[in-house]
Structure formats: C-alpha cells, structure tokens
Structure 1
Amino acid sequence: MSVEQASPDERPAIEELGRELGERIAETPEYERFEDAREAVQRDEAVQAKIDEFEQLRAEFVQARQSGQATNADLHTVQDAQDELHAMPVMSEFLDAQDELTDTLEAVNQAISDPLAVDFGGEAGGCCQD
C-alpha cells in the first residue's frame, strides 16, 4: 500500500517510521564519521582555500567551455587542482566518510525498495519506467 493509498490514520505511522529511520541513520557510525569529517573540512582554512581555488578554476573552465575557448590544458589545470584538494588529509577523510555513508544509504534504499519492487530512492517518482 503506498502512502497515497494509506488511510489517514496510517499516514502518520508511516511518516513516524520515516522520522525514526532518519534518526537511526543519524546515530550510525558511518553518519557520525561523515559529520565529523564534514565539520573538519569546514574548520580547516587550508582546505577551504583550496576548495575556493578549485571552484574558481572550475567556474572559469565551464565558462571557457561554453564559449568554445576551453583547452585540454585548462581541463588538466582543473583536474590537477581537484587532485590536490582530494589529496589533502582532511578532505581525503571526508571523501572516504562520504563514500562509506553513501554505501550505507544505498543498502537502506535497497532494503526499502525490495518489498516495493521499485527503486525507492531512484525511480519511485518516475513515470512509465521499465
């Protein structure tokens, strides 16, 4: 039975299960590691400066590409800046934690999707998909 088909009395119970699931996910070691790593990235001035530099280079590259002025050297400059950013220990930890959390959330998505016979996180809102 979908949420739309659920009786008015059942909807709050389903929504409460969703809230409980969110709270339980927030208590997982994967989520806690992600939050700690995210906060470390936000506090690290060197990482923030490298993020700003990368974002500027990327924006310039996108603009150059849209005007037909982008070169392979420009692309390599952006890729090198991204590699330097990702190699910073604080950022590397964040990316690892993000990957681990993504894996956990994909497993949760699969657990929700299995009984529904639809990819809850990916296709539930789509129309007419095979």
Structure 2
Amino acid sequence: MSVEQAPIEELGRELGERIAATPEYERFEEAREAVQHDEDVQERIDEFERIRAEFMQARQTGDATQSDLHRVQNAQEELHSMPTMSEFLDAQDELSDRLEAVNEAISDPLAVDFGGEAGGCCQD
C-alpha cells in the first residue's frame, strides 16, 4: 500500500464512523431495529413479499392482471402505513438525503459522481 493510499483509506474509515454518529443514521438504526422486532410488521412484510412474488410470477407468464397489480399496491400501502414501518421509511429517506449530500461533497472536486459512476467507463 502506498503512503498516499493509507491516509485516504483512514479518512474513509473516519467518514464512515462520523456518518454512523449522525442523528440521521442513529434514527435509521433505531427504526430498523424496531421493524425487525415488530411481529405485526414482520408478518405484513412476509405477506407483501408473497403477494409480490405471486404477481411477478404471473407477470412472467403473461397472466398478471390489473387487479393483481392493485393487490400488490394495496398490500404495500398497508405495510407502509403501519407506524413502525412508516417511521423506518422516513428515517431511511432522511439518511439517504444526508448520504447524497456527502456524495456530492466528495464528487464535486473530482468532477465525477463518486457514489454512482466512479468505476464506470466511457459514459456519454
């Protein structure tokens, strides 16, 4: 490892630690744990995943109907309206916004989207 890479990697670790200490990340982690420990939410997630899988299978065979799509959408709306899940989704959005701001701060001096396309080649 070159002398220049070690400090940059250390800065990356420090950035990760600082992100983990933000109120947005802490709120996200608390909300994620609440979702994981809420049996009603977990049952609704399982139900939604089952309904979605059935719809995807029907879509692949050409048997999906508009009614099937509405069933998936309704199951998702019911899941998202649960207070524990709603809090999680809000916390996730807030963290995503914060991480996008960090991505922009890193990307600006590089003239490349660090979080999105830094590894890409030959983009138009």
Common fold by TM > 0.5: yes
Residue in 2 that maps onto 1:74: 68
Residue in 1 that maps onto 2:79: 85
**How far apart in 1 are the matches of 2:119 and 2:85?**
33
Residue in 2 that maps onto 1:64: 58
Identity rate of aligned residues, in percent? 78
Residue in 1 that maps onto 2:49: 55
Residue in 2 that maps onto 1:35: 29
* 1:94 is the counterpart of 2:88: yes
**How far apart in 2 are the matches of 1:76 and 1:125?**
39
**How far apart in 2 are the matches of 1:96 and 1:106?**
15
Give 4+ residue runs of structure 1 displaced > 2 Å after superposition.
Answer: none
Listed as ranges, the gaps of 5+ residues in structure 1 are 1-6
Q: Could you tell me which amino acid in structure 2 is paired with residue 25 of structure 1?
A: I
Listed as ranges, the gaps of 5+ residues in structure 2 are none
Residue in 2 that maps onto 1:123: 117
Give TM-score, length-normalised by structure 2. Answer: 0.98
Q: Could you tell me which amino acid in structure 2 is paired with residue 105 of structure 1?
A: L
What is the Cα deviation at residue 40 of structure 1?
0.1
CA distances 1:42-95 after superposition (whole Å, capped 9, x unpaired):
000000000000000000000000000000000000000000000000000000
**How far apart in 1 are the matches of 2:80 and 2:117?**
31
Residue in 2 that maps onto 1:4: none
**How far apart in 2 are the matches of 1:98 and 1:57?**
24
